């Protein structure tokens, strides 16, 4: 029972507590990596990884990694107040109104003019000739 209370209070702190966004981002990453490692360790201890086929082991590990990375990508933290935001469509923090990062794997903020997606056609083209009148003969 004390472990459940500690886990609930830790999750409450990550979701609603007040701390810097970068601190909470690192805390979430460490928590998710520890949970993923604990799940794999329990599976190995109970023989799930030793008595199954290689394909099942790979599928199980890929599922754990996919869920972990997906949750890290979808969870953003406000740098100003530390609130956890799991909606990628919201550009600003619901608590303080500060700009949120683009996604959970970066600290680069989303600005008002950033909604346009980048395409390869938008990159600048290098000029092939050094002379504006064309190649010399």
User: Would you list the DSSP string of 55-96?
Assistant: HHHHHHHHHHHHHHHHHHHH-EE-TTT--EE--TT--B-TTT
Return the residue matching tokens 């972990």: 68
pLDDT in tens, the chain (137 residues): 888 899 888 888 888 888 887 888 888 889 988 998 998 899 889 888 888 888 988 898 899 889 988 988 888 888 888 888 888 888 888 888 888 888 888 777 776 665 555 555 555 566 555 555 656 55
CA distance 23 to 60: 30
- pTM value? 0.66
């Amino acid at each position: 029972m004390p472990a459940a209370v500690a886990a609930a209070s830790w999750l409450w702190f990550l979701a609603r507590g007040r701390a810097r966004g970068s601190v909470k981002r690192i805390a979430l990453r460490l928590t998710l990596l520890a949970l993923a490692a604990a799940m794999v360790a329990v599976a190995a201890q109970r023989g799930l990884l030793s008595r199954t086929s290689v394909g099942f082991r790979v599928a199980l590990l890929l599922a754990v990694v996919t869920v972990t990375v997906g949750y890290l990508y979808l969870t953003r933290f406000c740098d100003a107040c530390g609130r956890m935001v799991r909606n990628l469509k919201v550009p600003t923090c619901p608590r303080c109104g500060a700009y949120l990062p683009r996604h959970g794997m970066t600290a680069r903020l989303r600005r008002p003019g950033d909604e346009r997606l980048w395409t390869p056609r938008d990159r600048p083209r290098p000029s092939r000739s050094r002379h504006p009148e064309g190649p010399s003969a």
